[in-house]
Chain A
Amino acid sequence: MDGMTMISVDTLDVKIGAKPIVSNVSFSAQSGAVTTIIGPNGSGKTTLMKAISGDLAYRGSIQLMGHEVSAMKPWQMSGMRAVLPQSASLSFPFTVNEVVRLGIATGLHKTPPAVIGNRVREALQKVDLNGFAGRTYQELSGGEQQRVQLARVLCQVWEPVVDNRPRFLFLDEPISSLDIRHQLVILDIARDFARAGGGVLSILHDLNLTAMYSDHVVVMHRGQCQGSGTVKSIMNDHLLQSVFECKLRVGAIPDGNQAFILPQTIA
């Protein structure tokens, strides 16, 4: 299962208005792996992910499982990938249960009610929100809301592989408002999804967690891709310092080959 190219981005240009935000970006992401996009604020990470999600017009090519994104219908893509947005406000007082259920119920495929109930329960368990099903979404904290949204997204692509075709999770800063325990909970979920044969494409700001959880890293800087490859090949002092424009040091924990990144000063 691993090694199948699921996303292939080739000479991608994305403009918002007249302003080029992403230019000449090429990279690919495999199933069975966690691919992480890193880069400073305003480097085009979110725009890149929006284009891959099918939200923006683009030039060049983005292929999802061999199909050009711009040529696919929303329902076709909804079976192939689920997208966790950076923030999600809700306009009406839905319960947590009802929000998570939207991940299943909106699709065209019919799922039996009993299966829906169980799946919602399991998804909430996964994101560590046991007992939250009856709460109103608006009453939750930002971190709790973020985990409810992740549970909804998980429900949309519950099986990482269907009919030998892997599915994808797109996560835009999935841990931005979480405490450290829940950062690990969420990234474990992402890794498990990839280990089960699906693919994960996420945007992270935490370089240490990126090093810990990623199989593949894509570095964005000023709208361009500054490199993509394994953690070892990409996350080195030179590249990270030039991209993030500050002094930092990449080291390794002595009793493992886990990399860690130690920030130092603003250069």
Chain B
Amino acid sequence: MLQRTPEAEFSSSAAPHMEGDRSGKAKMVTLLLLLALAIAAAVSLATGASDASALSVFKDWAMQLTGGESQLSARDALIIYDIRMPRMVMGLLIGSSLAVCGATMQGLFRNPLADPGIVGVSAGAGLGAVTMIVLSSSILAPLAALLGVYALPLAAFGGGLISTLLLYRVSTRNGSTSVATMLLAGIALGALAGAATGVLVFKADDQQLRDLTFWGMGSLAGATWLKVLAAGPIIVSALLISPLLANGLNAMTLGEATARHLGIPVQRFKALAIVVVAAATGASVAVSGGIGFVGIVVPHLLRLWIGPDHRYLLPASALLGAGLLLCADAVARTIVAPAELPIGIITAIVGAPFFLWILLSRRSMLDL
């Protein structure tokens, strides 16, 4: 007779603080990040090339609630509701998705340099998206018609899934992942996906080229409610599933065999984690192109701050990733106003040196 062992002991006393227990701190930091994110979101709504002020929107809401007439000019309403707001929501979704994917992938591969952008998963997702854009008028037309707005994110999901599986097969042997193999395999996969993307771009017609150019800039600039609708459900589902991975990712830190000894169904767990990463990365890439390094920087900073326990790392990553991307976007929109810098440039300027710094500080551990 097999039963889950009951834990008979209960203690009425509150848990005393214990050395090495960072859970209290992690909870505090999470609250703090939530507050910071709210501020970042408000700032994101309030800033932009136009002088439309978010404050006037809040005033207007208050007015309407008390039964007054809307005072907002049609121009300001358009800017706030149809340009800045979808862009803010998109920033939240993409930022949290990138950071959570980074943290999950790092846990799954058991090393802090795994990131969908660096190891070629984003490139694979990009190839999926480009395939859909270019072939949607010919071979894939029925599929594109069937899937509607979800065609692009789902195609990117497919591309991301295939490259993650390939990467895992290549770089993991007997349950342990070689960092060097993973990074090199990532370069190869990225190059392969890039080449295939090039072939498709070569075959694309003028309209498709325009689509590709806008899509590939790595930017939140094209954010519309339609795009939010296309990527949102996939990203939100992935984010909601991710807390279920926390215990498994913690156990995986000790290796696959030990995770199994602790009761984790390792094969099923890995499959779920890979699907979550590929889905969220695919949906993000589909609507915003490749925005790099958020998935490396955010989890790494948080590990230094609250420790690597994934029960806290995953939600905190979502919050900090969303907040940082909104800030980066605010900078991208204003630094060269009225023009706009692609956000990918800003995240790379901050993130690439950071990546090098991690490499340097952990060089001995990685035996490169």
Binding site for B on A (CB under 8 A): 50, 53-55, 67, 72-79, 81-83, 85, 88-99, 102-103, 105-118, 120-121, 131, 133-135, 156, 162-163
Contact = CB atoms under 8 A, between A and B. Distances in A.
Given A53-B261, A77-B263, A105-B247, A92 B18 contact: no
Contacts of B251: 102, 106
B7 A111 contact: yes
Nearest to B176: A89
A135 B21 CA distance: 10
A92 B303 contact: yes
Interface in B285-315: 303, 307-309
B179 to A, nearest CB: 10
A91 B253 contact: yes
A76 B1 CA distance: 10
A112 B264 contact: no
Interface string B235-253: 0000000000001001101
B interface majority secondary structure: loop
Contacts of B107: 92
8 contacts: A73-B265, A74-B260, A91-B253, A94-B307, A94-B308, A97-B19, A98-B21, A107-B263
Given A93-B307, A94-B307, A106-B250, A74 B15 contact: no
Contacts of A105: 247, 250
Given A77-B263, A83-B258, A96 B20 contact: yes
A81 B258 CA distance: 12
A95 B2 CA distance: 33
Contacts of B260: 54-55, 74
A82 B18 contact: no
B31 interface: no
B15 to A, nearest CB: 4
Given A67-B2, A117-B21, A85 B308 contact: no
B81 to A, nearest CB: 43
A74 B263 contact: yes
Interface in B1-39: 2-7, 9-11, 13-16, 18-22
A28 B108 CA distance: 37
Given A85-B255, A109-B5, A133-B19, A102 B262 contact: yes
A154 to B, nearest CB: 13
A117 B14 CA distance: 10
A107 B263 CA distance: 6
Interface of B: 2-7, 9-11, 13-16, 18-22, 107, 110-112, 247, 250-251, 253-255, 257-266, 303, 307-309
A77 B10 CA distance: 24
A162 B3 CA distance: 10
Contacts of B20: 95-98, 133-135
Nearest to B20: A97
A209 B263 CA distance: 31
Contact of A74 (B3, B22, B266, B303): B266
Contacts of A97: 18-21
A106 B7 contact: no
A91 B110 CA distance: 5
A135 B20 CA distance: 7
Given A115-B7, A117-B21, A88 B258 contact: yes
Contacts of B254: 88, 90, 99, 102
B1 to A, nearest CB: 8
Contact of B11 (A83, A91, A107, A114): A114
With a 10 A CB-CB cut-off, give which of A90, A95, A106 has the most chain B CB atoms.
Answer: A106
B10 A115 contact: yes
Contacts of A108: 4, 263
A108 B3 CA distance: 11
Given A93-B308, A106-B262, A133 B18 contact: yes
B262 A94 contact: no
B203 to A, nearest CB: 43
Given A108-B263, A112-B11, A117-B16, A102 B250 contact: yes
Contacts of B5: 79, 107, 109, 162-163
Contacts of A92: 107, 112, 253, 303, 308
Contacts of A94: 253, 307-309
A156 B262 contact: yes
A120 B111 CA distance: 26
Contact of A85 (B4, B18, B19, B257): B257
A115 B9 contact: yes
Contact of B15 (A73, A85, A109, A117): A117
Given A95-B20, A120-B18, A163 B3 contact: yes
A222 to B, nearest CB: 23
A65 to B, nearest CB: 9
Query: Which 8 pairs, one residue from A and one from B, show the smallest C-beta to C-beta distance?
Result: A97-B20, A78-B263, A134-B19, A92-B308, A95-B20, A91-B110, A134-B20, A133-B20
B210 to A, nearest CB: 44
Contacts of A72: 2
Contact of A106 (B111, B112, B247): B247
A75 B20 CA distance: 27
A131 B290 CA distance: 47
Given A92-B253, A94-B308, A105-B247, 8 more contacts: A55-B260, A73-B265, A74-B265, A77-B261, A79-B5, A102-B262, A108-B263, A162-B5
